[in-house]
Structure 1
Amino acid sequence: MGNNKITTAQALKFARHDFLNELQLVLLYIDLDKLPEAKQKILETTDRMREVALLERLGLPAVEIWLTTFDWLYGAFSKTMTCTIASGIREADDTEVAKYLERLFSEMEKTLDPTSEYETQIDVQASVAGWSITIVVLAPLKKVFPEPIEFENFTVKETISQNQWTFTISGQ
């Protein structure tokens, strides 16, 4: 999208568009008398919405917004997300975490092959004691940051193999 900021109106527009696409696909399956596929699409959509709703428990509102709008901001990445989140008080400055994630993916976008799609799995974990966000991109990527980076209230770790880039950001 070229811009790492999205307005509330744009977010609502994108969300409506995505939801209407899902409904039209369900209607298409029903019209084609493919009821099992329609049911599966409904279940997939509600599961995805449930995952997004769980992000509120993370207690990092800027990070929640970044994760929710990821698909719209970074179109080259095809995202799936899982969340296991227990409510808790987080010590990390969520604005700094979100800014860091924005900077990371903006830098990464500069190295991407525009003809490729980058399958991305995001796993958000949080307990009362701590939280982590692990992002796995299944595609050949250049190393974004050469060394692990330490911040005051969160830690960043990056590993890269032949066709998998794994990035974890965590804190208390």
Structure 2
Amino acid sequence: MTGTAKDFVQLLRVYKHDYLNHLQVLLGYLQLKKPELALDYAREAIEEIQENGTIMRLGLPKLTIWLLLKRMQLEERGITLTLQNETDFAALECMDEELLEWFKAVEDVISLKLNSLPVEAQGWEICFDGSGPYEIVFNLPILQDNPWPGCLEPCLARLAGGITATWSSNEQKFALKLLIPTNLCKKRLNF
């Protein structure tokens, strides 16, 4: 089995376990005649499943599997990784492998830097939006002396030509924004 196939099977096992757990909790509340708690729990479970569904619609299969597994690994350590997706990035599928390798490198840097914080403060977020050029935004906690630009610079240097990166920060967060032209894959395929 390839790495991606193994990852996919692992992801399915985890989701099967989670869904069975949700059903058992609901059954328990109903057996205890606590329908209000069952309803509250069902709403939470639905919200979690919908969040996973938005990432599954990303259109980048290798990156999607890695992101979902990474989020699960971080959650096991008590770290929150929020994933938001507003669009289908399928037009960038020619970059799936390249984006995956880039995300892995960025995540290594982020984890290394966040390790100095208490676990509850290590949460971060990745937002995907394709309403104009494709946009990927990493929202990270503010660290003392804001080391993000310097430590992420080597990762930014690895980006494909045509992709631009900007960053901004305020008192609450540091944001790294990637802008990927909608026709980048077409340009690559038309040698």
Question: Scaled by the length of structure 2, what TM-score is found?
Answer: 0.66
* Cα distance in 2, alignment partners of residues 34 and 152 from structure 1: 57
Cross-structure match for 1:152: 161
8 Å Cα contact 1:140-1:162 kept in structure 2:
no
Gaps of 5+ in 2: 1-5, 183-191
Counterpart residue number, 1:123? 127
Report the AA paired with residue 72 of structure 1.
M
How many residues get paired? 166
Partner residue in 1 for 2:135: 132
Displacement of 1:56: 4.4
SS of the aligned residue for 1:113 comes to coil
Q: What CA distance in whole angstroms lies between the structure 2 residues aligned with 1:64 and 1:110?
A: 22
Q: Among 84, 96, 99, which residue is 1:97 paired with?
A: 99
Measured after TM superposition, the shift of residue 87 of structure 1 is 6.5
Corresponding letter in the other structure for 1:156: A
SS of the aligned residue for 2:92 comes to: coil
The residue aligned with 1:82 is 84
Q: CA, structure 1 residues 27+124, in 2 after alignment: closer, same or farther (shift >3 Å)?
A: farther
- The Cα shift of 1:78 comes to 0.8
Match of 1:52 in 2: 52
- Indicate conservation of the 8 Å contact 2:54/2:84, yes or no: no
> Letter of the aligned partner of 1:143 in structure 2?
P
Moved more, 104-113 or 41-50: 41-50
Return the index of the structure with the highest Cα Rg: 2
Q: TM-score with structure 1 length normalisation?
A: 0.71
Identity across aligned pairs (percent)? Answer: 19
Counterpart code for 1:50: Q
By percentage of residues, which structure has more strand?
A: 1
Q: Which amino acid aligns with 2:125?
A: Q
Cα displacement (A) at 1:160? 4.1
Task: Name the Cα RMSD after superposition.
Answer: 3.2
Shift of 1:107: 2.0
Distance 1:17 1:139 in 2: 35
Q: How far apart in 2 are the matches of 1:26 and 1:89?
A: 40
2:48 and 2:179 mapped to 1: Cα distance? Answer: 23
